[in-house]
Amino acid sequence: MRTLARSLAPAISFVAALALVLPVAVVSPAQAASKPVKRIVHTSWGDASAFASGIRRGVTVTPAGVRIAAKPAGRRAYADPHGNPTRRYQFGRWASPWTEPGFALTELISSWSATTPRHTWVQVEMRGRTAGGTVGSWDTLARWSSGDGWFHRTSDGAQPDDLGRVATDTWRAHAGTRVTGYQLRVTLHRRAGTKKTPTLHTVGAMASRLPTRLAATSRPGPGTGIDLPVPRFSQMTHRGHFPKWGGGGQAWCSPTSVSMILAYHDALPHPREFAWVGKQDPSHSASNEPWVDHAARMTYDYGYRGTGNWPFNTAYAARYAGDAFVTRLRNLREAERFIAAGIPLVASISFSRGELRGAPISASNGHLLVIRGFTAAGNVITNDPAARRNAGVRRVYDRAELERAWQQKSGGLVYVVTTPAQSLPTRGKNRNW
């Protein structure tokens, strides 16, 4: 669950029973005729030919991805603002070609997957360009490593320039600017004196321009009658765990949802990776899903001070499942296509009191849950980690209410997590995955 500005509303109440299957809202012909246009394009680079199209300095492209070359681009000092001393690193850089989604974007969220051995890390940046050719500054989206023993992964604050600013994990264009293109840059670092190198496997971005009003509720589609067997984990059973990484409970909806997806894919971390949980606090036994504590630690953003950084969660999931990225979907019909393909989704929702009947919490201005299927009537089967216990995690929500809660603030944001054996739904005219 996103903390601070994206945390749960303070008032939290629990219900004792599972949600009932509720009827789908009836859409009037007038509503159906009004379809606000959602412009969403996801672009990624993830193989040798794609990486070869970029600008390379001190890196080499291998079948596994981009690595620091034998002759790096240079050295730099980095002062970790969250505890580690200043250290010197060798680095190499890869930058994407200029990319145009075909509209003036208002938001951009990057995703990546990388392997970062000890004392290595990556920095992800972007810059925008207007239709008139004005180029903005490079803005840091993330300084990231899979571990935290030698480096504290972090977002980097607002960094306002003439075109936009960064809000934790999201680059937002300033009002009135027409940003029609962007460029990504990834700088790979290794501590001076070591031959280890990080490897960038994939990097991409979702650019979007969303309407100011919501579309009518979507009609049921290809996912009806499918309920994927996603294991159920409650974030609330971790209340009070490891305050230095958010303290469990309210704060851990995102890593708990990601852990459910990884368990579905049979891709949870090896037990030796989360053995530290019981060693640091024996009360956190195996019955309490220690892999959730591990996920919270390994997704924690030391700048944002929470576990809800979207691409930090997909980067963590990609390490175990194979691939993961952040995008937006236009409606639940698009989500149904993923369910039909056997791919559950993590969705970001927000709602006020009374807007999501049967929810285990009364309201939230930022919560994540798993979409695991759809009833025959088209209502949404979820694993909602805000339930008090694992037994209460599976919930069925009214289609109209859940779609509104999902689209009204996050714009239909989801984590897509897949294994090498899975194929994404056919894109067709959709360019958002």
Give the Å distances, CA to CA, from 136 to 8, 159, 183: 34, 11, 10
pLDDT of residue 286: 66
pLDDT of residue 95: 98
Backbone angles phi, psi at 336, to 5 degrees: -60, -30
pTM as predicted: 0.91
Give the Å distances, CA to CA, from 379 to 220, 337, 364, 368: 8, 15, 21, 18
Q: Which of 138, 139, 123 is nearest to 190 (CA)?
A: 123
Point out the residues of the chain with pLDDT beneath 50.
Answer: 1-33
pLDDT of residue 196: 96
pLDDT of residue 34: 53
Calpha distance 42→123 (Å, rounded): 20
pLDDT of residue 30: 44
Per residue in 3-57, pLDDT (tens digit) is 333 433 333 332 333 333 334 444 444 444 457 899 999 999 999 999 999 999 9
- Residue at 75: amino acid letter: R
pLDDT of residue 428: 83
| In the block, residue with structure tokens 């603002």 | 81
Domains and CATH numbers, the chain: 4-37+215-418 (3.90.70.10), 39-209 (2.60.120)
pLDDT of residue 21: 36
pLDDT of residue 160: 86
pLDDT of residue 184: 98
pLDDT of residue 19: 35
- Burial code of 157-168, b = ≥16 C-beta within 10 A, e = fewer? eeeebebbebeb
What DSSP string runs through 83-130? Answer: SPPPEEEEEEEEEPPPB--SS-BSEEEEEEEEE--TTEEEEEEEEEEE
Per residue in 141-180, pLDDT (tens digit) is 999 999 999 999 999 999 988 899 999 999 999 999 999 9
pLDDT of residue 238: 96
Calpha distance 255→361 (Å, rounded): 18
pLDDT of residue 31: 43
**Structure tokens given for 360:** 């285990």
Q: Which helix (H) or strand (E) holds 65?
A: strand 65-68
pLDDT of residue 349: 98
The strand pairing partners of 53, in sequence order, are: none
